[in-house]
Amino acid sequence: MLDNHIDSQLENTGESNRSNTSTESFGYKQELKRVLKTRDLVIFGMVFMAPVSAQTLFGSLSQVSRGHAVLAYLLGLLAMIFTAFCYGKMAEAYPIAGSTYSFTSRALHPYLGFLAGWSILLDYILIPMLLYKLSAVFTMELFPSIPLWLMLLIFVLPVTLFNYLGAQTTSRVNLAMTAIMLLSIVCFVGFAIKALLHGDGVGTVFSMKAIYNPHTFSMHSLLAGASIAVLSYLGFDAVTTMAEDSNVTGKMVGRSGIFACVICAVFYIAQVYFATMVSPDFTSFKSTDTAFFEIATKIGGSGLATVLTLVIAISGISTALAGQAAASRLLYGMGRDRFLPGFFAYIHPKFKTPVYSILFMAVIGYIGAVLIDLNTLFLIIVFGALVGFICVNLSVFSEFFLKRKIRSGLGIVSYVLFPLIGLSVCGYILWGMETIGHIVGFSWLGLGIIYLSFSSRGFTKSVDVFKEGSF
């Protein structure tokens, strides 16, 4: 209802939300093949977030939140939904490839847009690296004779091939992977309910103590847990990078990211709720890294634990697939505007994919997965996303409140209050990151500033990057 009122106001004031505006009207030639539907975009976002990611985070999340993993995920959703709303509104205004980079460039300033895109590129580069390595490590437990360098190739090569062949091929793989992940979650929930009905854990299917336990609750612990839960939600923004691969309006591109965020939240919460019900004592795990699989073994034996481990390994392919696709579209958008070398904007004549961007991401992802350890990847992966989120929150305020002057009561809520909440939450999480995350993140940002300084001749070159060849 709120969206409908705002949309109506935009039309009445002559400030269309441009949902149906073509790519050409923004000064670009439509080169990518428009094949993705709303369902494909939602699944793309879900795959990037990985519904099963709650399993790998459960042990740490449960201990840090002192048994309040469900509330932590709810708070994490509340924190991210405001930023997801901001991405949705900017995708309506500018349904073009580049996402964070394009939104910030047009709403704030092209130089800020470059830095926003450069920052979130760190996230898009590291996520495939992380998933390649996680999947390889999990699979090597089953095939220990295969060396890491070879196991990584087994994951990197098919991901690159699927993206090379086009968004339609990618969407089919995503659909199959999503079905596998959701079936594994349903399987776990089914075993958990059976165990609870037989008297295991709390001995009942519903108990408020799995959501709120006054004996262990503290706001500090809940906030700390929410900062971990937010990791699962990173990726909803990637939906907007596929705007020029979709055949739906900008409004639906934006809403697809929100839908993906909410749907994944339901599955995250279901998993941690039943895991908490089966094992309410968060201090009893042998290892926080394997806590969820200890519970799976308890309720379904080694068979269930093995199935869940395999699904985690396989899901890495789909998430890396989405990450590589999102990063290649970001590189494509920045290359098209000449902020990065033009070869990143090269489109394959047959498959209509940014082939050099895809191959670049494959090489960087493989090398990084070989050289960088998992703990370091976990610590630094959030920085780029949070900087990008902050820029998009600011972009909504600038675009709608300042430029389009939408300042009614609902306009203030949507274009001032929501971005302010999203910005504050992201800023809080960014401030509380581990030191290594700050060091790597700000170093990466510094490199971007140096590169921008040289490419813009000391920030004196024309900033009208939306005209061909200005950079």
Confidence of residue 17 (pLDDT cuts 50, 70, 90): very low
Nearest-angstrom CA–CA distance, 226 and 73:
6
Residue 15 is predicted with a pLDDT of 36
Per residue in 292-320, pLDDT tens? 889 999 999 989 988 988 888 778 788 88
What is the token pair recorded at 363? 């090489």
pTM of the model: 0.80
Mean pLDDT of 386-394: 92
Residue 403 is predicted with a pLDDT of 93
Per residue in 343-366, pLDDT tens? 899 998 888 889 999 999 999 999
Residue 361 is predicted with a pLDDT of 93
Q: Which residue has the tokens 């389009």?
A: 404
Residue 460 is predicted with a pLDDT of 63
Residue 182 has pLDDT above 90, yes or no: yes
Per DSSP, the three-state class of 276 is helix
Residue 375 is predicted with a pLDDT of 67
Do 75 and 222 touch, CB atoms closer than 8 A? yes
Per residue in 121-179, pLDDT tens? 888 888 888 888 877 877 786 788 889 999 999 889 998 998 888 877 778 888 888 89
Residue 462 is predicted with a pLDDT of 54
What secondary structure does DSSP assign to 198-251, as a single string?
A: TT-TTSSS--GGGT--TTT--HHHHHHHHHHHHHHHTTGGGGGGGGGGBSS-HH
Per residue in 430-441, pLDDT tens? 887 778 888 988
Residue 463 has pLDDT above 60, yes or no: no
Cα torsion through 367, 372, 374, 378, rounded to 10 = -100
Instruction: Name which residue leads in pLDDT, 60 or 463.
Output: 60
Per DSSP, the three-state class of 36 is strand
Residue 241 is predicted with a pLDDT of 83
Angle at 410 between CA 404 and CA 415, to 5 degrees: 50
Residue 194: closest CA among 207, 206, 205: 205
Residue 322 has pLDDT above 70, yes or no: yes
- Please report, rounded to a whole number, the percentage of residues in the chain having pLDDT higher than 90: 33
Structural domains of the chain ordered from first start: 32-374 (1.20.1740.10)
Per residue in 217-269, pLDDT tens? 988 888 888 878 887 888 888 888 888 888 888 888 888 989 999 999 999 99
* Average pLDDT over the chain, rounded to an integer: 84
How many other C-beta atoms lie within 10 A of the C-beta of residue 223?
17
Confidence of residue 379 (pLDDT cuts 50, 70, 90): low
Confidence of residue 6 (pLDDT cuts 50, 70, 90): very low
How many other C-beta atoms lie within 10 A of the C-beta of residue 206?
10
Per DSSP, the three-state class of 132 is helix
Residue 464 is predicted with a pLDDT of 54
Confidence of residue 398 (pLDDT cuts 50, 70, 90): very high
Residue 20 has pLDDT above 60, yes or no: no
Residue 459 is predicted with a pLDDT of 63
Q: Which residue has the tokens 């991210």?
A: 80
Nearest-angstrom CA–CA distance, 343 and 357:
8
How many other C-beta atoms lie within 10 A of the C-beta of residue 228?
21
b/e map 69-101, b = 16+ CB within 10 Å: bbbbbbbbbebbbbbbbbbbbbbbbbbbbbbbb
C-beta pairs of 177-180 under 8 Å, 24+ apart in sequence: 177/47, 177/314, 177/315, 177/317, 177/318, 177/321, 178/43, 178/46, 178/47, 178/51, 178/318, 180/311, 180/314, 180/315
Please name the amino acid found at residue 131: L
Nearest-angstrom CA–CA distance, 143 and 42:
34
Residue 13 has pLDDT above 80, yes or no: no
